[in-house]
Amino acid sequence: MYNDQILISILIPSFNESETILKVLNRISEISEQNNNYEIIIIDDGSTDNTKDILEKNKSLYTTLISYGSNQGKGYAIKKGLETARGRYIFFQDADLEYDPIELKKFIKLINRFEPDLIIGSRFNYSEYTRSHNILNKFGNKIITLIFNLLYNTTFTDIYSCYACFKKKLLNENNLRTNGFEQHAEILCKVIKKGKKFYELPISYNGRTFEEGKKIKFYHIVSVIFRIIYERFK
C-alpha cells in the first residue's frame, strides 16, 4: 500500500558500483533538499566490492538499504525494491551514472502537471547530449520499440532506456514472472494495459561500453520481444 505523503519511491539497484553509487546519491540529495516527499531505496544485489561499505557509511543519503549475499540479477533486485516501496510513483535510477539524477526534475514537473500513469525517458530525443554507443544495441532498441508500439498502440521512441516512472498502483510486483533484462518489458506491458495516460520526455545519456561494465547484449532482444508479445496476448 502506497503512502500519499510520499510522492516518489526511487529504486536504485546496485551491483559492484562503488565508483559511482555515492555520486548518484549526492546528486539525488541535491534535488531532495527541495522536496521532502521522496524515499530512496537501494538494493545491493550481492556486491563483491566495497559498495555495501560505502552505503553503510552514508546512511543519511538514503531511506532504505536492502542487501543480500549473492548476486540475483537486476530483475530480482527490482522486485525486492517494489515490495518495500511506499510512494505513489516508482522511479528507476541506475547506480552507474549512465543517467544523471538531475533528470528526475523533469519527471516531477510532468507528474505535477498531468499525473501520468507512465513516463519514459528517451535517449534518442535527447535534451543535451547522448553518448554514441554500440550500433547493434541501437538497432535492437529500435526493433523492440517498433514492435511494442504496434502491439500496444503507443508512440514511444525508446522503451528500453530503462529510465522510467509509473504509478505504483498499476503494478502488482507479485505478478512479475521475470528476473532478467526482459523484466523491464514485462513491467511496461502490465502498466500500459492498466493505464491510460503515457508520456515520453527527452533525457541525456552517458552510456557505458562493455569494457566499462555495460551488461546488456544484442541477443537479449529475443527474450524481450517474446515477453512483449506474450504479455499482449496472454
Percent of the chain's residues with pLDDT above 70: 90
Which structural domain, as residue segments, surrounds residue 146?
A: 8-233
The helix (H) or strand (E) run that includes residue 222 is: helix 221-233
122 domain residue, yes or no: yes
2 domain residue, yes or no: no
Distance CA 144, CA 33 (A): 37
Least confident of 35-44, 109-118, 172-181, 225-234: 35-44
The helix (H) or strand (E) run that includes residue 12 is: strand 8-14
Least confident of 20-34, 74-88, 178-192: 20-34
121 domain residue, yes or no: yes
98 domain residue, yes or no: yes
Which three cell numbers mark 39? 524515499
Dihedral-angle region of residue 202 (phi above 0 means left; psi in -120 to 50 means alpha; beta otherwise): beta
Predicted TM-score of the model (pTM): 0.90
Residue 111 and residue 10 in contact, taking contact as beta carbons nearer than 8 Å: no
pLDDT digits (tens, 9 = 90+) for 109-136: 999 999 999 999 999 887 777 776 677 7
3 domain residue, yes or no: no
Q: What is the reported pLDDT for 126?
A: 75
Phi and psi (nearest 5°) for 199?
Answer: -135, 160
141 domain residue, yes or no: yes
52 domain residue, yes or no: yes
CATH of the domain at 113: 3.90.550.10
Distance CA 63, CA 185 (A): 27
pLDDT digits (tens, 9 = 90+) for 144-199: 999 999 999 999 999 998 899 999 999 999 999 999 889 999 999 999 999 999 99
> In sequence order, which residues have a C-beta less than 8 Å from that of residue 77 and are 6 or more positions away?
13, 14, 15, 43, 45, 66
Number of domains within the chain:
1
Residue with cell 543517467: 99
